[in-house]
Structure 1
Amino acid sequence: MVSVNLQPEHKAVLEGPDEVVLHGETLTMQVNEVGLHLRPQSFFQTNTEVAAGLYRAARDWVAEHAGDARRVWDLYCGVGGFALHLAAPGRRTTGVEVSAEAIVSARTTATELGLSGLEFVTADATTWALAQDDAPDLVVVNPPRRGIGADLAGWLERSGTPYVLYSSCNAQTLARDLAAMPSLRPVRAQLLDMFPQTGHYEALVLLVR
């Protein structure tokens, strides 16, 4: 796939509002057994091999600690990496992402794989979560470097959801968010070298109430 993004003004934003597709519709990246479709302006982990390990760890940890989870939210879901790897018979999974292009990508992959019980919603993760009437069995969060913030962390603390899986690229905001959710205790953690030969990383933490 080839596209051109137009940024009409000088500002600290990577992408402008206009995307001109020159060739193809999606780029498919094979991650484990999932062929993830990527459209322009869709978030995807930069290191595919390490991303595959990240999603495998998430799937294994959930199977071990939260295998009974029947309702799952994947907040900041991007193109659906976590949601698609956690899909299972009898489980309803909802992915939420502010990028409409990423949601189209996630839906395309789910349809191609013939997966049922998956729903993808274009919305701000915090606004969407706070508007729901009840909490699921498991919440996955994979926020940008700023973390999930006080509003969502406070909602998770009050929600009663028994499991939270937090994928973070910033230990400082991760620590801040965990401090705001004292009822949810870390039981598993792993550091992944997502950005070799740099000081950056991805951390995966499983929290249990």
Structure 2
Amino acid sequence: MTESPDGELMVRWVLRSTAALARVEKHLPWLRAALPQVRVVTVNVQPEHRAVLEGDRELVLTEEQTLPMRLDGVTLHLGPRSFFQTNTAVAAALYRQARAWADELAPRTVVDLYCGVGGFALHLAAPGRRVTGVEISAAAVEAAARGRDDLGLSPEQVRFVVGDATSYDVGPPPDLVVVNPPRRGLGADLAGWLERSEVPHVLYSSCNPATLARDLAAMPSYRPARARVLDMFPQTSHLEVLTLLTRTRPARTSP
């Protein structure tokens, strides 16, 4: 179950098969009457007996397919299988900090890798700035474009493309690259590309300090200029770290 800042809910049932689907559908009117704040209800089918939280098949049982997450004037449309930061209030603080640091840099071009539903990309959009978000999930890209349209922005100002963040050709080096990788970090290929690139600034949002440290060691041409720890997972050992990296020496021409 996911709750939006407006109090609306997304409810997902993860089942081994569709055998109980008819029962879920039968009682759906009762559920929505009892909980009017329910906006999206889905059934996810995960048939394998192993430690996997969800399967590849998602059946949306309501007309609405996304949950609006309104943060500081930006509406992100969260789909059933889309990534979203665990703690909404801290996520808003994370995006505010990223926006503040980016506005100080005043980049004209920004590339947001692992953009998801557009959290960083839409918060960093500004007049005279071109933002490109890259995400491997087509559904997430569609949701991000919907958020862009809600803001009245054009595809020329903010565009979202389906692609692999670790190998996407960004073209001429942008003024700022934003990365928000999974716990495994950037990996050798993407960290190596950034190290060899002419990108002057990188904004790195990490949920795993160990892989952040590994990636920073692979990018010695960048110096951490600023960093902020955000307690995304209270009362646990996990946290989110936002780090602004500044290039301190020319790009290397060889791997």
Q: CA deviation at 1:40?
A: 1.5
CA distance in 2, matches of 1:91, 1:62: 11
Which structure 2 residue ranges, 5 or more long, are not aligned? 1-39, 248-255
CA distance in 2, matches of 1:91, 1:61: 14
* Equivalent runs, 1:77-88 vs 2, <5 Å: 77-88=115-126
> Is 1:18 paired with 2:18?
no
Query: What does the per-residue CA deviation read over 1:39-66, in whole Å, with 9 as the maximum and x for residues that have no partner?
Result: 12110001110000000000001112x1
Give 3-state SS (helix, strand or coil) of 1:185's partner.
Answer: strand
CA distance in 1, matches of 2:184, 2:158: 27
Q: CA deviation at 1:132?
A: 3.7
Query: What does the per-residue CA deviation read over 1:11-65, in whole Å, with 9 as the maximum and x for residues that have no partner?
Result: 343221111001122101111111111112110001110000000000001112x
Question: Quick check: 1:40–1:101 contact (8 Å CA) kept in 2?
Answer: no
Query: What does the per-residue CA deviation read over 1:87-129, in whole Å, with 9 as the maximum and x for residues that have no partner?
Result: 011111111111222111111111111113111111110121x
Question: Quick check: 1:29–1:38 contact (8 Å CA) kept in 2?
Answer: yes
Residue type of the partner of 1:22? L
> Is 1:61 paired with 2:101?
yes
1:7 aligned residue (46, 49, 65): 46
TM-score (normalised: structure 1): 0.95
> Is 1:188 paired with 2:226?
yes
> Which aligned segments of 4 or more residues in structure 1 are displaced greater than 2 angstroms?
10-15, 131-134
Aligned to 2:166: 126
Aligned to 1:207: 245
Residue type of the partner of 1:80? G
Query: What does the per-residue CA deviation read over 1:105-159, in whole Å, with 9 as the maximum and x for residues that have no partner?
Result: 111111111113111111110121xx34322110000000000011101100111
Residue type of the partner of 2:97? A
Which structure 1 residue ranges, 5 or more long, are not aligned? none
* Equivalent runs, 1:1-209 vs 2, <5 Å: 1-23=40-62, 24-64=64-104, 66-67=105-106, 69-116=107-154, 117-128=157-168, 131-209=169-247
Question: Quick check: 2:118–2:133 contact (8 Å CA) kept in 1?
Answer: yes
Q: CA deviation at 1:207?
A: 0.4
Q: Which moved more, 1:54-63 or 1:93-102?
A: 93-102
Residue type of the partner of 2:237? G
Identity fraction in percent: 67
Residue type of the partner of 2:91? A
Greater relative contact order (Cα < 8 A, sep 6+): 1
Distance 1:12 1:127, change over 3 A: farther
TM-score (normalised: structure 2): 0.78
Root-mean-square deviation over aligned CA pairs: 1.1
Give 3-state SS (helix, strand or coil) of 2:101's partner.
Answer: helix
CA distance in 2, matches of 1:34, 1:27: 13
CA distance in 1, matches of 2:218, 2:60: 43
